[in-house]
Structure 1
Amino acid sequence: MHQRFEQHSEIPSTDPLVIIQAADQAGQVTALQDYLDHFQVRQPGIIPIKTPDRLVMVKTTTIILAEVQAATLMVYTVDGVVETRETLRHLVERLGSPDFVQVSKHSVLNLDHLLSLEDSFSGNMTAALTNQLKTAVSRKYVKLLMQRLGI
């Protein structure tokens, strides 16, 4: 990746204009755009998760995996499991961190808790996570996961 600074007095330094030039919008370009989208957005250290009977405060660094089972979102942490009716999409938006990667239509994992990946059948993979958790990585999401891992 190359970079260059051009000074333009009409563009304020508090709101710079970033232009990305490449042959196509893939690979590092997409990762860079994601990074820029989240630049200066304060990542929450703790997020509240509403359960049927209370509001649980969860440290985002302790979240290993979030997975939809039936109509319930299971949030697996290093301390246990929190069940909620929140949608997976809404949780990912609230997390707002590039460390959380969608690996199937029904699950998102935290890269900080990913231990290994194994080939599975039909182009799918299996992700081994901390706390002896495993989840399937759909072949539709394998490419995105590899990009996030820098592979």
Structure 2
Amino acid sequence: MQVTAHDYSDNVNQLIAYIEEYKHFDQIISINVGNAIKFINQDSLVAIEVYGDELRFFSKKTAYTTRGRLYKTLEKLDRRFVQIARGTVININYLQSLEAGFSGNMTAIMKNDRKINVSRRYLINLKERLGL
């Protein structure tokens, strides 16, 4: 990555310091939230869910809403993320347990006590990723 500027203002220096703080910049997801760009470390990202034409990113502490396509976001994520439903992706590092749900579906219980439905269609991928 290369950062160039005509003048090195305080804002540019802060940006450079922020980027240098993260040795693995590919672990950072950037999303547009309103008039700002938010940077989320993949380590803190618990799940992503689609609501209509909006994506909701759930981190350990905060939720962010933006517009976008789930498949494009999924391309940016590493292997710890798995799609468990048409509109849902989870970080398997935050998966606490799987419980049987209704009509053959499973429910993913996350470490933050969030319950997320796993569709039968995507259950095979989840089990493969977990080595089951």
Q: Quickly name the TM-score band, shorter chain normalised.
A: 0.7 to 0.9
**Residue 146 (structure 1) aligns with:** 127
Larger gyration radius, structure 1 or structure 2: 1
Greater per-residue helix proportion = 2
1:121 is matched by which residue type in structure 2?
F
* Alignment coverage as a number of residue pairs: 109
Structure 1: which amino acid aligns with 2:81? F
Is residue 49 from structure 1 mapped to residue 31 from structure 2 by the alignment?
Answer: yes
Is 1:61 the counterpart of 2:40? The answer is no
Distance 2:51 2:28 in 1: 23
Which whole-Å CA distance do the structure 2 matches of 1:43 and 1:134 have between them? Answer: 30
Query: Which 4+ stretches in 1 moved above 4 angstroms?
Result: none
Matched, 1:72 2:48: no
Deviates more, 1:132-141 or 1:45-54: 45-54
Secondary structure in 1 matching 2:30: strand
2:79 aligned with 1:98: yes
Matched-pair contact (CA < 8 Å) for 2:53–2:68:
no
Residue identity over aligned pairs, in percent, reads: 34
Report matched runs for 1:35-46 at 5 Å. Answer: 44-46=26-28
Give the drift of 1:140. Answer: 0.5
For residues 62 and 101 of structure 2, the distance between their equivalents in structure 1, rounded to whole angstroms, comes to 27
- The alpha carbon displacement at 1:86 in A equals 1.6
**Separation of aligned partners in 2, 1:85 and 1:70:** 9
Residue identity opposite 2:34 in structure 1: P
2:91 to 110, 118, 122: 110
TM-score for both structures, normalised by structure 2:
0.78
Q: Distance in 1 between matches of 2:89 and 2:29?
A: 16
C-alpha distance in structure 1 between counterparts of 2:54 and 2:127, whole Å: 28
* Per-residue deviation, residues 87-109 of structure 1 (Å, max 9, x unmatched): 111111111x1110000000000
